[in-house]
Chain A
Amino acid sequence: MPRNSIQPAVGPETTAIRLPRKRMSKWELYSRRFRRNRPAVAGLVIFAVLVLFAVVAPLLARYDHIELDFLNLGEPPSGEHWLGTTSAGNDTFAQVAIGLQRSLMIAVAVSVGTTVISAVVGTAAAYFSGMFERLTLLLIHFLMVVPTFLLLAMFSNDSGGDWRTISLIMILIGWFFPARVIWTMALSLREREYVHAARYMGVPGMKIVLRHMLPNIGSLLVINFTLGVVAAVMIETGLSFLGFGVKIPDVSLGSLIGSGANTITSAPWLFYFPAAALTLLTVSMALVADGLRDAFDPTSAAGGRA
């Protein structure tokens, strides 16, 4: 789609300045539209800070997240332990940083995986149609009935808490719902002229899917990716909270909240800090997704000049 043909608002005082200026590129347009959405920018900043924290904080921390300080058991936040310690003597600051890192890694891995699989499967099903499409839809509808959370809990309980296995299972169980949405979107794409043209020029089927159809739902995929991060964080937290996810000595935000929940009245800081990190993470990602949706949507009426 020729996005860069969209003109800025024309007014008597703007035309004179506008004439010599270069036309806006697609990305310039997107980023402008994104930046005028203040909550989205705030979300992006918060997210960047969180990522920075997850990367840098373990280097700054005075203690390792599995190191036990037997002189400070269950201490509230102090100068020695910035966010307090657990009853076993773990430094909460280091734990939160590592847990955030782990949760982010799982979330990004899962979201990348589900987005890629669902995009390829969804568009391929729409393009190839016929038998392949029917079989794919049958599989998707079947997976929708299967209680996925239960399977997830069984698999990851069995996997012994390795985050890579957990991510892999979450991808396998999470791809089909977005795939169905993408399939509906791609149905109209397959009737477009450029797809017909490519087909009659003899371009192989998979190449049409990857080179011609996928780029045209790119904006949807980007939004799906951000929302997928939120969903993956939520599911991973739930699993780890129940004890089916990441296991000791590895920590994630979910398992930290889970252990903090037991001492919520006597040692509330063990709950506050991971919970705050988790909420900031999901809310900021949701704000970013919202801003991206406005930025990519040509009919968006969110106000202001593009």
Chain B
Amino acid sequence: MSLLFKGRPQGASDVRIGFAQSVSMFFVSHLRQALGSLGELWRQPAASIMTIAVLGLSITLPSTLYILVKNTEKISAGWEQASEISLFLKSSVSEAQSQQLLTRLGTWPEIDSLTFIPADEALKEFQHLSGLGDAIAYLEANPLPDVVLVTPVEKHATPQAARLLLNKLKEQREVDIGKLDIEWLERLYGLLDVARELVTLIGSLLFIAVVLIIGNTIRLNILNKRDEILVMKLVGATDAFIHRPFLYTGFWYGLLGGLIAWFAVILILWWMDSSIQAFAALYQKDFNITGLTGAALLTMLALSIALGLVGSLISVQRHVREIEPK
């Protein structure tokens, strides 16, 4: 409805059309502007590809790091379950006493299995593995203690639970030293935390850069269309109407950049796969790197589109307002 002239029809809302038609007109006009923006990108392929590539590669780096962190977490999750507690018994403990200990520990619900390694056997194994051979025979007495290897049940295999169990085991009078072999695992976790922080940090910096790049590209688009914007303002276009094609341009940049990032990540993983396989083989581990899951891929695309939209939104808010007919 016209502001100045009561009863004067203004725009489609006042021309008598049905509800369904006005809804469909809304989508038709959006679709037209969306395709129009895509067409603009198509007509300037070199410039568009550069912008899209910058956006895509900027998203590729944090995405790849994210996948590496995720995969490291996955591998280490396998190791965590295997945590094992070594109990070194006092040298004064007799064989009968150690058997008693084993029977007692066998009743504990936290413990899955026990392995007893007598001192003699341990020495033999050491002799065999160390390559010191006969030199060992010159020892007057066996310096090694009896050892009990305790494997906790799955529920008690996490670092904290295993540590509690270790403290309980240390209280047994036969036990001299107890050792939980997860300290290196904790260090790995610390490292992973740092890596995760790095992903966030690098990601944030690159995302800010992307927003600025898109914003600047859209700014140039706006300046190129200065005359057209002036004419549109003269014949009564609202700011929202003028903004829309530029926002769609930002949307397309985001979507296409996100797809490029996706392909780049797949390519990088494919390329790294053979060296990762070789590395995993050293540890006699069968390991397949997992790429982006469906949800992660959608998140990546959504993020990319959001960055494109934010960049163009900032730009149109600032620069379309500056163009006023004089």
> Does B associate with A?
no
A residues with a Cβ closer than 8 A to B are none
